Amino acid sequence: MSTFRTPRRRARLALAAAAITVAAALTGPVSQAAGSPSAPTSPSAAPSPGAPGLGDPIFPLDGNGGYRVNRYLLDFDWQAPRTPFEAATTVKATATQALSRFDLDFAGNTLHTVTVDGTTARAVRDGDELVITPAKPLAKGKPFTVKVTYTADPTQTRHRDDAIEDYGWIPTPDGTVLYPQPNGAKMIFPSNDHPSQRAPITFRITTPPGLAAVAGGELTGRAEQADGRVKWTYDSEQPLATQLAQLAIGRFTFVDSTGPHGLPIRDVVPDDLVASTEQYRKLTADHIAWLEERLGPYPFNRYGLLVGDTDLGVALETQTLSLIPKADLLGDRVSAERNLVHELTHQWTGDSVGIKSWSDLWLSEGHARFYERLYSQAHGGDSFEATMKTAYASHDQWRHDYGAPAEPTEPNLFKRMRYDGSTLVLYALREKVGQETFGRIERAWVTEYRGKIASTQDYVDLASQVAGQDLDGFLHPWLYGAKTPPMPNHPDWVVNPVQG
């Protein structure tokens, strides 16, 4: 997500979240992330409830324990903007413990039925948790299928007082786009809504005549129904975090082109914005080539831009199909390219290489801002060094106000420290080890962890290995300290005193 934005409407939707309720709900056990070892249990262990959350320091109840998701299948019968519609989500999963019950993250929407392996299950709403008790306990290692039917509410949004602002269903004049970051996917479909929990998604969307549907991944089917409605089927192809899912509906033109090595590029553009956004959209192939020189091959099978016909002011790196507000493509070229390169960089760092916890967000946003600014410096933008010197001067203040780069708090998760403040950590590392070694670290990072999740410590360990020196003592104060360390090679850089 980029925070370099054109002006936007400052709508405010109050999100009531009682911290005391969250704390009380954390009395249950904390599960492991998907893909990591489960807590030891014997095959004959008595069934027990899966944890209601993964215990993430930022969002403790996001994600769920006791199972891993293998695939989501979303069936949406879209009607009209801001109009409820019938929906079903099928979750194919495998139990990682003997389960007496388990949770899905699911907010709002009108629940109808829940089945487990075709048999009706007991389901209770508890805040943003859907607590499901199957008719029979599930054995450890057992594959199972959950189907939830509901009436979806495409007016649902929530609000954050940071760079995210409004998220969830974002309306457009003739449809919708999705903004699920950070944990808004639960407003769209029942899920394991945490960035460490990744699974492929199949989207099956039926639209009225004249409207198109698009989602991340490959279009695998388009079928006209007897009543004139059209069913669109998309496959994400690779697993993705729920915060990176995209589904848009509207009057769209699909603009196809080719990137480096024959990479398919598909832009999805509201009909009346095709010509006015073409100048900057056609730069994507060059942006991919520039990033491939620094980070290696593009990590997915396709890419494209979804132009948001909305006053949404924030772009988003939804996997293989970045959401770019129309205002970003109608302004000056330097600003447009900063946002375009930022979201594209995320396909390597944030999407392909996912984050293990929300405290690792600096790895995603810091890298995207680093290459955004590096590119912009060479294409008419500000000096990278000058912007880093400015960030250095403010770094102690940001640490005081927003937490150190790898120690955010929930209200400050998407504040400026996770952007230029985190880029400064990477800049300091490059100054420490030199440009050539830093480049090898970066290429090793996106290669070693391609298609995986990774943590801050994983990055520190890999950087140390590639550089041939223990960098933990250097990076730890940058990432966690209350005070900003000296900048290598820049003894004249000064940190401003903290105010307040």
Please check the confidence at residue 44 and state whether its pLDDT lies above 80.
Answer: no
CB 249 within 8 Å of CB 205: yes
pLDDT value of residue 28: 35
297 Rama class: left (phi>0) / alpha (psi -120 to 50) / beta: beta
Annotate 405-438 with b (16+ C-beta within 10 A) or e (fewer): bbbbebebbbbbbbbbbbbbbbbbbbbbbeeebb
**196-249 residue pLDDT tens:** 999 999 999 999 999 999 999 999 999 999 999 999 999 999 999 999 999 999
pLDDT value of residue 312: 83
CB 99 within 8 Å of CB 66: yes
Backbone angles phi, psi at 131, to 5 degrees: -95, 120
Tokens of 381: 């933008």
> DSSP characters for 32-62?
PPTTSPPPP--TTPPPEEPPS----SSSTTS
**393-428 residue pLDDT tens:** 999 999 999 999 999 999 999 999 999 999 999 999
Tokens of 185: 């996917």
Give all strands of the β-sheet with 119-120 in edge-to-edge order.
Answer: 119-120, 110-116, 143-152, 85-95, 67-77, 201-207, 230-235, 218-224
Tokens of 321: 């199909």
- The single residue listed with the structure tokens 């007897």 is 226
DSSP reduced 3-state for 307? strand
Distance CA 122, CA 136 (A): 11
Please check the confidence at residue 14 and state whether its pLDDT lies above 50.
Answer: no
Residue % of the chain over a pLDDT of 70: 92
Distance CA 307, CA 177 (A): 9
Tokens of 223: 């079928």
pLDDT value of residue 500: 86
Can you count the helices (H) and strands (E) in the chain?
10, 25
Please check the confidence at residue 431 and state whether its pLDDT lies above 50.
Answer: yes
Beta bridge partners of 103: 131
Count other C-beta atoms under 10 Å from residue 262's C-beta. Answer: 6
**292-327 residue pLDDT tens:** 999 999 999 999 999 999 988 889 999 999 999 999
CB 151 within 8 Å of CB 85: yes
Give the model's confidence band at 1: pLDDT under 50 very low, under 70 low, under 90 confident, else very high. confident
**What is the mean pLDDT of the segment spanning 143-163?**
97
> DSSP characters for 405-417?
TT---GGGTTSGG
Please check the confidence at residue 92 and state whether its pLDDT lies above 90.
Answer: yes
Q: How confident is the prediction for the chain on average, in pLDDT?
A: 92
Beta bridge partners of 266: 256
CB 291 within 8 Å of CB 341: yes
Give the model's confidence band at 25: pLDDT under 50 very low, under 70 low, under 90 confident, else very high. very low
- The single residue listed with the structure tokens 């850089």 is 493
Please check the confidence at residue 19 and state whether its pLDDT lies above 70.
Answer: no
CB 417 within 8 Å of CB 398: yes
Please check the confidence at residue 373 and state whether its pLDDT lies above 90.
Answer: yes
Write a three-state SS string for 78-130: CCCCCCCEEEEEEEEEEECCCEEEEEEECCCCEEEEEEECCEECEEEEECCEE
Query: Residue 176: enclosing H or E segment and its boundaries?
Result: strand 175-179
Q: Can you list the positions of beta strands (E) in 218-303?
A: 218-224, 230-235, 240-241, 247-250, 252-258, 264-270
Residue % of the chain over a pLDDT of 90: 90
CA proximity to 204, closest of 70, 319, 74: 74
Backbone angles phi, psi at 423, to 5 degrees: -60, -35
N-terminal to C-terminal alpha carbon distance within the chain: 29
pLDDT value of residue 356: 98
Please check the confidence at residue 43 and state whether its pLDDT lies above 60.
Answer: no
Distance CA 264, CA 69 (A): 28
